[in-house]
Structure 1
Amino acid sequence: MTTHAEGHPPIGMSNISPALKAQKTNGPKYFYGGAKNNLGQCDHIRSVKVLSQDEWKRLSSQLQGDSIEQAKLEEKRLANEKLKLQSHEMVKHWTNTFLGARQKKLDERAKRLANEEATKVAIDIEEAKFQAEQRKKAIEEAKLKLYYQTDRVKTFHSALTLTEVLKERDAQLELKELCKKLGESKDKAYVERWKKELEEATLKEQEKLKKKREQNLEMAGHLKEQMKLRQEAQKLEENQNIAEGQLLKQTAMADQLELERLSQIDQEQSFKLMKDYMSQMEGNKQIKKIERLKEEEEDEKCRLFAAAKRKMTTLRVLKEREMFQ
């Protein structure tokens, strides 16, 4: 009789799934565990194991578990790297910290100074160009006048022109010095303002540090109290352990003494049993010796009886011979 798989009821042809029927009729004939006959069919179709959808999913997940787990780990690693890069990019542009605000102010100051310096350079260049044009015009006019005037007038005009040129140069130097002082005053005001902001930020930071220090001291007090309680509990536990250890030691000593007493009793009983056994063995030897002597006596009696019997038989035979002679 065909048996079904353990833990599963037998199935008939009417309970076979359509996919299995199609595979049985159209597809190649596979061997599912029954004996295959010449027609390519299974005699033991009732022993076929039909997997449910949950079992099939479980087997598939077990077979593909390593690759899925590896893919999940790789995806998690890429996500962590992406978050790390995003965090670096976000932190790089943060300005809500003390160092970030300070760096921002320094960058703004450097940018403003660069713009002011560029403006000053542009003004100086324009002024230099203008003054160069003016000097060129003055020189051309001076040349023209010197051409038509006498040597004394030429000398006068030359001195006048030189004086105007020197005045113009002095005016330019004064203008440049004024611009320089103006820039220094602006820088000084900015530096003062920056120092003030820095002092305010420093005071705020010191206040934060003070509060944090107070919080740390308070936390340290709590931790110290907890450590004290823990030490007391540990000491109490150690005392209890010592008491338990002493009790266990006393119990162990009592058990050891009891074991020694029982061992002594056992040895005495063993010695007594051995003595009795030896006595019994000695008695058995004596009994065997007596029995052996008895057996020897019996053997000797039998031997003497046999010898006497042989002697009597011999005498009887001799007498019979004498009688017949």
Structure 2
Amino acid sequence: MESVVQYGRRRGSSKRVSSAEEPSRGNQPPDLRQVTVLTKGEWQRIQDELNRVNKDKESMKEAAKQREALHVQSTEVVKKWSNTIAGQRQKKLEAKKVREEAEEEKRKTIDKEEAKYQEQHREEAIEKAKTQIYFQTNHVKGLHSALLLTEVLKEREAQIELKQRITSASEDVDKELLDLAKTSRDEALRQEQEKALQKKLEGQAVAGDLKNQMKEREQVREQEKIENRKDREETQRLQQLYHWEQKMEEERQAKLRRSLMNTHLEHVANRDLIKATHAQKQEAEEEQRKLFLSAKQKMMKLRKEKEKELFNEAQMRREWIMTKLTVTQQEQTANEEQRVAKAVAERDEKLAQQKRKEEEKKAAMLESIAAHREFMQNKKEQEDKTTKQDMLDRLQAKKEADRIFTEKQQMEAQKIKADGRNIHEFNATQMAEKRDRLMQLRREEQEFQEKQAETEVKEENQFQRYSQNLINAAAEAQRNVFPLCKAAGEGIGAGLCPVSSYLVQDKTGGQMPKYVSGATQNVEKLNGAKDIHQAKRRLGFTWS
């Protein structure tokens, strides 16, 4: 049976022995006398110290979280109450919001009515402007001038007749006529005064409505001021209440800090007690550790004695092996001479073989040189063939490049030709479109002229109806209708009839404006000289 070294392996010994003993040594049960049993509290304390857990701090955090949750819950509950200060304020804000929305709806209704009224007023102004523009045309102005002329003629006839009656009538008739004229004049004056009084009353009513509206607005402003003042007072009261709550919260925090300080002092006192207990436990553990070290030293001593015994056994085995090796060496010395002779014979045979190998190597070298020469010749022939083939390939590539260049030139020429055709077609299309546009413009111009002619016909028909109505009314009133009939005709193109004398030199054919009007004539009367000779004398242009 072979011996095994514990901390090492003897040369030539098996590894399987040590590897088989290791699992058996690892499966040995622990020594219960050297095992320390801890209680649950000690084990928890060690885990807390290793994990650095502060139970007081954790409990304080948990209490703060609970207080915060209760505060949030109470806030959510109180927020929905209507009999609190915040609830009353919220109720007032909602009422104010409803009131503002109602006022906004009322203002929107008033704005809509105002917009409707303004729209109606604009339509009336537009119709009035159209009528005025129509009355400002030369043809209508000429007709109105003729109407005025008929009225003037009628008035002149009436004056002549009145003068004749005054001359032929007696004084009683004159007095009666004068009384009648005075009565009519007084009646007209009374009607004018009634109209003025009615307008004044309407103005006073409108002013009263405006004053009432201003008073209502002033009352609304005073109400808003009162509500704002109440809101400010409520805000101040809430602010004072908030400061009082803050003060109470600070006092509560101060009490809490004092209680925490007392708790901390108690904790410090308890900590000193815990330290003393811990020191006692450390001393007990130190005694147990000393017992363990003494047991371990005994085990080391036994192990060294075992190692010394194993070393002695190994030394004895080593001496037995040396003795056996000495005997074996003597036997080898006897056989040394035989091996020397055999070695000399082998050396001679090796020299002869080496010489033969050198000769074979030389012959092989010559054969290799001949083969290399033949290979180089074949390589040169192959290179010549390759060079020739490369030249042929280059020539073919050049021809192919020339062919491709020629094809590209042809394709470019075809492309230029196609582009030319496309440009020609595009130009033709553009010319056709331009021609179509010109024809469209001509058609539109013709349609415009037709519409213009229709408009002129409509205007002429409207004018004829209007003039015919005036003529009929004048005839019924026994007026002289000759000026009206003459003005209602087409005329000779003097600028005061439908035939225009001064036209614009373009396709529209519109009439140029006439700057001679009643306003310009009035200015000329005011600023012009009534007597040209007097003006000449005033300026110094005198000739004898």
Q: TM-score range by the shorter chain?
A: 0.3 to 0.5
- Give the TM-score of the pair, scaled to structure 2: 0.25
